Structure 1
Amino acid sequence: MSKVMESIARQSVKTCPFMQRAVSLRGLKRLHNSNLPAVARQCPIVGHAMTRAYATATGTPREAPAASTKAGRNANEIVANHATQESTFDFDGLFEREIDKKRVDKSYRFFNNINRLAKEFPRAHRELEDDKVTVWCSNDYLALSKNQQVVDVMKKTLDSYGAGAGGTRNIAGHNRHALKLEAEIAALHKKEGALVFSSCYVANDAVLSLLGQKVKDLVIFSDELNHASMIMGIKHAQTTKHIFRHNDYAQLEELLQMYPKSTPKLIAFESVYSMAGSVADIDKICSLAEKYGALTFLDEVHAVGLYGPHGAGVAEHHDFESHRIAGIETVPGGSTVMDRVDMITGTLGKSFGTVGGYVAASQKLIDWLRSYAPGFIFTTSLPPSVMAGAAEAIRFQRSHLELRQLQQLHTGYVKRGMKELGIPVIPNPSHIVPVLVGNPDLAKQASDLLMDKHKIYVQAINFPTVSRGTERLRITPTPGHTDDLSDILLDAVDDVFKELQLPRVKDWESQGGILGVGEPGFVEQSNLWTEEQLSLTNEHLNPNVRDPILDQLEVSSGIKV
């Protein structure tokens, strides 16, 4: 130790309380042979300064590496006390700033207090029971949540088996209600197996993420308008992805051509896109998948219950007559569009009136998902009463063609009425009635005015659910929205458009049009339901769809070998 350093050390021992405790005057020379930085780190002042200097230099908020000597190991146990020397992170400030952003851009969401009345559908009351409104935006498309058969089955099951499932299937086992429900789903989509999840959001996320994580080098091709659950599943898949323009199959083929046929591929898409009502050409996508060696993942959430002779969705609707004649049996030859789709996901919470989601596919794929998907393995099962009610809803709607037909007829009535009034409805061939507003603030005002002045509930749809500048009111008629209620709705919407001076079709035409509204040369697609299909009765269905006896799926419990 130099004389200068020795002099400084001696002065430190005399004046610094830490040095007085840590080092005696006799021990000064021993510092020369010890790890001086390690000793310095024990000082509450110098140690703190050294830690901050190290963190700044490395860009990582951590302690400096421990020294290899015994003294260094002891020093590593001394942690700087940031709790008393630095202010805490302002979490509340962050939350407030983020919420303020949504208020400024008018995408902040307000939830209305809507209590749907089972005995007065489609009526509901707000906070007070005598403040009643008519609901025009529910996804309970067939009103099966209030169907007496469904409710009775749920009540009976609740009385017998209680409120909850008791845990995951891995812990609590499953039950006869899960077995029956999965058999009903598999039969509906004419697949070998099915697996029920707590929601279709979870199902989509679980299936897509697992495929990406387990199938080496998988490439996923996703429609740009796919639901958030599919987007999240693809993100969690952590694999290569390509997003193709909505329903642009020429671009999809260009992307598929980039890879050898031996490269594993998956095309993820929906049948009915719920915010615009557009419909995918499933047959064309299946042909591309077969040509380039891809699996197909089809989300039928907004189509099950509404399309096909038995409510299996748009894939069934493609071969309407073949499925109608075959009933619950598989169409001979196995060449229908529904046969060609590898996996179909759907919801129990919309047309089937309860809650939950599912995937239907081959026995091997379902067994693989059941064995590996964390979203299934580690999630508590749906309650027995819910699964029993969902199974009953599927059985009921399968043989009641008139529910789908009434929904279509009421949708057509509303769309024609809007057209006569010049109200801009985004054209589509499905059951969705998207009324274009094009401004988030005005969409919210229109929704509020319908509610407060006309006692009609239609939720405004803003970003990020739809793109900015395409904000809308989304109307969804049901079998219970008769023509007299539709006339009240049409008068109310016309009044709101006048009061708020909202742009009509002619106004969008003058701006060049958007989304098919006022666009020159735009050709509308024909409705999925033909006049001939709408003229059929329940008696035209195969008798085998009425209360069929379904065998339990072996895959639901695990396949024995």
Structure 2
Amino acid sequence: MYQSILRQQLELLKSSNQYRTFTTLSRICGQYPLAKLEGAPDTPVVVWCSNDYLGMSQHPLVRQQMHWALETYGAGSGGSRNIGGSHELYARLESSLADWHEKEAALVFPTGFGSNDATLQCLLRQIPDCVVASDERNHASIVNGIRATPNERRVFRHNDVDELEQILSAYPVDRPKLVVFESIYSMDGDIAPIAQIVKIAKRFNALTYLDEVHAVGMYGPRGAGIAAKLGIADQVDIIQGTMAKAIGVIGGYITSTQTLIDAVRSFATGFIFTTSLPPAITAGCLASIEHLKTSSCEREQLHRSSGTLRERLRQHDIPVMRCSQTHVLPVLVGDAERCKAAAHRLLNVHGIYLQPINSPSVPVGTERFRVNATPNHDLNQIDHLAASLRETFDHFAIPLASQASAAEVA
């Protein structure tokens, strides 16, 4: 009976084009963004949708420090930090993160998903009667953390500061409130009105929780994110980030006051009862962050490459969605079946890996490719991508930018 129920659910997923499959790619160290495709090892493909935004997973310094830590400390951490002990590398990494965001303290988690999920659950359970206001396009990790608590929750329209103000104004000033939002939204590439949100939150005595996972390393002084770029990081109560994207390794973190960090460390079950990052991973994260604090060449090249890619796509009439303001370039397809077919053709005909983004990750009718250049993509690869997308769009009669709605594409 149980197998039958699960099979039915899987068939529904497949029939709606929401079933996910893995493409087996083996990245080639030192040759990023090239990877070997399973079954065709002699012809590398070019990866165009990795979150390794700056190619730091390949950086010699990061790899060197990971090798050093592996040979010095071994492979695993031995358990949670409460049971296995808290390695000195964790303290150094958390100190570096707190310095990066100019906060009093930081706390590291094994993943970015876990840092959002565990922290939000903890805060909402520990702060009595706290109401949470969440942007409608917040990441699944944020949604998961909020839904796991019985707290009253309100969802405001994406980046709509007027609706947020209406929500917060409906509660007494002394009622605990938490506003949760992101700086850069990964599927649209747009930027939140951070300054306005923070101003409104302060007016109504609400804590602010900002997810900067798609910004850290790439924006602001020393790569500390959008809030730092705007000069208002000190006004944001909690900044959350990841070490799996621009930093190039894995792990999540939060930064805030010493008291808040200590509370999450002491009460968050998602932190207390999980194995800590291995020393080699921690060393790699620390090396990457310290490098990005002082080196701007990677992010400068990222933004140059992103600008070149955006222009090449425009020249080939490829519909980049108007919402994009950042390095994330959402290319509109608008149909789940054609999006999957186009991805297959790009991979097998043109040697380009782009993952189709379909519902429920994005609304039905806005299916897309989420494209991003890195400092490692050269001009030939950028030109090849633009030409290949145009050939693929023509092949499947996918509407071009000149044929799509002006409200949707630039």
TM range (shorter): over 0.9
- Which among 200, 203, 208 is matched to residue 296 of structure 1? 208
In the alignment, which residue of structure 2 is the partner of 1:53? none
Matched-pair contact (CA < 8 Å) for 2:218–2:225: yes
- Cα displacement (A) at 1:385: 0.5
Per chain length, whose mean CA-contact separation is higher, i.e. which structure has more relative contact order (CA < 8 Å, sep 6+)?
2
Aligned to 1:517: 409
| Contact 1:309-1:401 within 8 A present in 2 as well | no
User: How far, CA to CA, are the matches of 1:183 and 1:148 in structure 2?
Assistant: 23
Q: What CA RMSD, in Å, does the superposition of the two structures yield over aligned residues?
A: 1.0
Deviations 1:433-460 (A, max 9, x none): 1100011110001111110000010111
Question: Could you tell me how far apart the structure 2 residues matched to 1:366 and 1:141 are?
Answer: 28
Work out whether residues 107 and 265 of structure 2, in 8 Å CA contact, stay in contact via their aligned partners in 1.
Answer: yes
Alpha-carbon deviation of 1:217? 1.1
Using the alignment, how far apart are the partners of 1:353 and 1:118 within structure 2?
13
1:108 counterpart = 2:19:
yes
Equivalent position of 2:238 in the other structure:
343
Which residue of the other structure, out of 2, 24, 28, is the alignment partner of 1:117? 28
Counterpart in 1 of 2:321?
426
What are the within-5 Å matches in structure 2 for residues 206-221 of structure 1? 206-221=118-133
What is the match of residue 258 of structure 2? 363
Q: Percent identity?
A: 40
- Identify the residue that residue 333 of structure 2 maps to in structure 1: 437
Q: Say if 2:123 and 2:264, in contact at 8 Å, map to a contact too.
A: no
Which residue of structure 1 aligns with residue 400 of structure 2? 504
**Residue aligning to 1:456:** 352
SS across alignment from 1:172: coil
Structure index of larger Rg: 1
Unmatched tracts of structure 2, length 5 or more: none
**Alignment-derived partner of residue 185 in structure 1:** 97
Structure 2 residue corresponding to 1:317, chosen from 229, 240, 244: 229
Counterpart pick for 2:304 among 409, 419, 432: 409
Deviation at 1:517, TM superposition (A): 2.1
Cα deviation for residue 398 of structure 1 reads 1.2
2 CA distance for matches of 1:400 and 1:426?
Answer: 31
Q: State the match for 1:253 in structure 2.
A: 165
Q: Does the CA-based 8 Å contact 1:167-1:381 persist in structure 2?
A: yes
Q: TM-score, normalised by structure 1?
A: 0.72
- The number of aligned residues is 408
Distance 2:404 2:387 in 1: 21
Instruction: Classify the secondary structure of the residue corresponding to 1:237.
Output: coil
Contact in 1 for aligned 2:316/2:387 (Cα 8 Å)? no
Structure 1: gaps (5+ residues): 1-89, 320-336, 519-561
Question: Does 2:291 align with 1:399?
Answer: no
1:197: Cα distance to partner?
A: 0.5
Per-residue deviation at 1:148? 0.4
- The structural deviation recorded for 1:220 is 0.4
Instruction: Please tell me whether the aligned partners of residues 426 and 434 of structure 1 are also in contact (alpha carbons under 8 angstroms).
Output: yes
Question: Which residue identity is paired with 1:452?
Answer: N
Letter of the 2:51 partner, please give it: N
Q: Give distance in 1, aligned partners of 2:30 and 2:126.
A: 48
**What is the distance in 1 between the residues matched to 2:379 and 2:222?**
25
TM-score, structure 2 length as denominator?
Answer: 0.98
Q: Summarize deviations over 1:389-439 as a string: whole Å, max 9, x none.
A: 000000111111111111011111111111122211112211101100011
1:376 aligned counterpart, secondary structure = helix
Name the SS of the counterpart of 2:82 in structure 1. helix
Residue deviations 1:468-500 (CA, integer Å, cap 9, x gap): 111001111100112221001111001001111
Residue of structure 1 equivalent to 2:49 = 137
- Please give the per-residue CA displacement for 1:39-74, whole angstroms capped at 9, x wherever unaligned: xxxxxxxxxxxxxxxxxxxxxxxxxxxxxxxxxxxx
Q: Which amino acid aligns with 2:5?
A: L
